Amino acid sequence: MSKDFIPKPNTGSIFPNSRKERPEHPDMTGNIYLARDLLEERMANTPEGELVQISVSAWNNANDRIGMTLKKPYVKPVDQKTQAAEPKSESEPVDDDDIPF
């Protein structure tokens, strides 16, 4: 990498592996550059013992390079109407004194 190269936060690139000598060597290698705030946010919002998820988008660029951007995963907002229409939990106690049989 050139000393003049300054990566943008939350990006990465992979290139064909020029040192591939055997089939078990990776086809491509590269780096990602994560901003500390993205990494800290993902760690803070991931329960202990679970894997940290980061969303990746990738594009084929010049010279067989694949460029990537990384961000926190999209979470679909909870729809208040749908949530209100959901049936009550089955765990609520049932008063069977009103059952006629």
pLDDT at 53: 94
Q: Which residues are CB-contacts of 53 (< 8 A; sequence separation ≥ 6)?
A: 42, 46, 73
Q: Kindly report, residue by residue over 60-96, the tens digit of the pLDDT.
A: 988 889 999 999 999 889 887 766 666 555 555 556 6
- 25-50 tens-digit pLDDT: 999 999 999 999 999 999 999 999 99
Give the pLDDT of residue 3.
73
Rounded to two decimals, what is the model's pTM? Answer: 0.65
